[in-house]
Amino acid sequence: MQEDLTKKEKDELTFSDKLAINCYDLASVLVSAIVTIMLIFTFVFRIVGVVGTSMVPTLNDGDWLGITAWDRNPSYGQVIIITQPNWFDEPIVKRIIATENQTVDINFNRGEVYVDGVLLDEPYINNLTLNQEDGVTFPLTVPEGHVFVMGDNRQGSTDSRSEKIGFIDEDYILGVVKVRPFNVSRENGKFSMYPVQQWKIAQAKLTPAAAQTQLY
């Protein structure tokens, strides 16, 4: 049986004993660090990549994002990563437009989006909301425990306007996007860092002007 080195006096330790103790200490530190990193990336912060252009101009194809699962209260304007099973059979990134018990209506002729009768001020979109998918009729009310999402590139996004995506169960929200530090081009593999001031993903808020416009 191997002798317990901790019972030896310091002056009794041989070089091999000291090496074994140092290796054990190093292994303990590495294991603790790995466990800590795994916990952080599982419950606090993780990195994910963007594929596609449904969130242009906010996010671009090849962007790498920092997301957090710490924020458990979905709200209007949050950009989220969704793992709910869908027609594409892959995770998607979209923006929350409405939360549970809110009513969404869209005027597809004018490209206007209303939530609870309020016309949304949407400076984040790439184009107007003109595409209407078959099978989804407006106005509609978001069920409890769900959110209604759309991509910022309204003419190039499949989202809650479509039966292929539908309402999103809050349990399938992987995390809220906080930063996009860099991009890796899928065409040429070029790496580009975003300026620090562009890292934060702005969350949309209703402005007083938008809140005064009602849908009748």
pLDDT in tens, the chain (216 residues): 345 555 555 556 576 756 666 676 677 666 655 554 554 555 567 889 999 999 999 999 999 999 988 777 899 999 999 999 999 999 999 999 999 999 999 999 999 999 999 999 999 999 999 999 888 999 999 999 999 999 999 999 999 999 999 999 999 999 999 999 999 998 888 999 999 988 988 888 765 444 444 433
Other C-beta atoms within 10 Å of 145: how many? 13
Place of tokens 């599982």: 42
Class of the CATH domain delimited by 50-211: mainly beta
d(CA 109, CA 107): 5
> Two tokens at 26?
């190093």
> Two tokens at 147?
């959110």
Q: What is the 3-state secondary structure (H, E, C) of 33-64?
A: HHHHHHHHHHHHEEEEECCCCCCCCCCCCCEE
pTM as predicted: 0.78
Place of tokens 């620090």: 196
